[in-house]
Structure 1
Amino acid sequence: MTEYERSRTMPALPEHVFDQAGRVDQLDGWLPRDLHVRVDDLPAVTVHEDRTGEDARGLFRARKEQLRLEWGTRETGRYAGWLQVAGLGSGASEVTVHLSFFDPRHAPPGDAVRDALDRSLERLEEQVRLGTENPAG
């Protein structure tokens, strides 16, 4: 198994960060740019990857009471991930994203994954900031 994890501190309450991260209709706003999520019948989703042109059947669950999102592939069990939000006090939060690739031969290169996770967390922070400035959005 190959695993990756990245964290980022965000200047927002953990509940707000979780709400922004877990909006299924806005996942494309912070996920890696070449991934697009289509909701089938939650928890079932389909993820399209631009790089390969392929669709993958997946699962997506939001556990609000734990401030945790979980996702992964259906049937094949090749991939899983989670996002956890934790309060740091003073209105700040730490967001951690973890990815697991169960067959190391199919895991993307480590540097590419770490860069994609960092960029995703940056985009999520921007989404959170915009949501704080405009709570209706």
Structure 2
Amino acid sequence: MTEYERSRTMPAPPEHVFDQAADVNRLDTWLPEELHVHAEELPAVTVHEDRTDEDTSALLRTRRDQMRIEWGTREQGSYTGWLQVAGLGSGASEVTVHLSFFEESHDPGEQAVQESLDTSLRRLEEQVRLRVDNAAG
């Protein structure tokens, strides 16, 4: 099993960050650009990956009381992940994303995963900033 984790500070309270991250209809705004999530009957979702042009059955669960999102593949159980939002005080939050690959064939490699995590967290921060700026203005 291979695991990866990245964190980033966001300029908003944890509830705002979580609401942005957990909105299943807006996941494409911050997930890696090659991944597209189609909600079925939650927690069931289908993830389409442009790189392989394949659809994968997955599960997506949000736990607002814990400020946590969890996901993973349904049938094969080869991949899981979670996103955790924690308040830092003074209106800021820290977001941590953790990925676990149980099969080597599903792991795209450390550099690719770290770049995707960094890009996704940056894109999430941009979405959070847009929401905060629009609410303030």
Same fold by TM-score greater than 0.5 = yes
Task: Point out 4+ residue stretches in structure 1 off by more than 2 angstroms.
Answer: none
Counterparts of residues 5-16 of structure 1 (less than 5 Å)? 5-16=5-16
* 1:2 alignment counterpart: 2
d(CA) in 1 for partners of 2:89, 2:112: 32
d(CA) in 1 for partners of 2:31, 2:60: 13
Paired residue total: 135
Gaps of 5+ in 1: none
Gaps of 5+ in 2: none
Partner SS state of residue 16, structure 1: helix
Q: TM-score, normalised by structure 1?
A: 0.96
* 2:93 alignment counterpart: 93
d(CA) in 1 for partners of 2:26, 2:133: 17
Counterparts of residues 26-65 of structure 1 (less than 5 Å)? 26-65=26-65
Query: For 1:33-85, what per-residue CA distance to the aligned partner results, in whole angstroms no more than 9, with x for missing partners?
Result: 00000001000000000000000000001000000000000011000000000
Query: For 1:9-47, what per-residue CA distance to the aligned partner results, in whole angstroms no more than 9, with x for missing partners?
Result: 011000100000000000000000000000010000000
Q: Percent identity?
A: 70
d(CA) in 1 for partners of 2:129, 2:70: 23
Q: TM-score, normalised by structure 2?
A: 0.96
Partner SS state of residue 93, structure 1: strand
